[in-house]
Amino acid sequence: MGPKGEGPFFEEELMKGLLDKIGIPIHCSECGHQTRKPIRWVQSNQELICSGCKISIDLGTNEDTRVLKKLHNALDRIDMSSRN
Ligand SMILES: [Zn+2]
């Protein structure tokens, strides 16, 4: 109860669900092997071991995930400013 509507809460739950459901393909720069991981997994991990050649893929510099992590940082800032 109170002035806070259920809109933001619903959107947050929806976002969480999507983060778990939507997978993005991550390409290994060494062998080109593609591994699909949920967005949430990408955001909470720093590296991925390629199942093709077993090297460690840095998710912070990988072409496929770099943009996603940048986007996540931007979303964090937007989220924080809307709480005040
Ligand atoms: Zn590989």
- pLDDT (0 to 100) of residue 3: 55
Q: Is residue 13 part of a domain?
A: no
| Residue 11 located in a structural domain | no
Assigned domain for 42 exists: yes
Question: Is residue 64 in a domain?
Answer: yes
Q: Three-class SS string for the chain? A: CCCCCCHHHHHHHHHHHHHHHCEEEEECCCCCCEEEEEHHHHHHCCEEECCCCCCEEECCCCHHHHHHHHHHHHHHHHHHHHHC
CA of 25 to the centre of ligand 1 (A): 13
User: 34-81 pLDDT, tens per residue?
Assistant: 999 998 899 899 999 999 999 999 998 998 888 887 877 787 787 766
pTM over 0.75: no
Q: How far is the CA of 30 from the centre of ligand 1 (A)?
A: 5
Q: Separation of 16 CA from ligand 1 center, angstroms?
A: 29
pLDDT digits 0-9 by tens, 64-74:
888 887 877 78
Cα(52) to centroid of ligand 1, in Å?
A: 5
Domain span at residue 32? Answer: 22-83
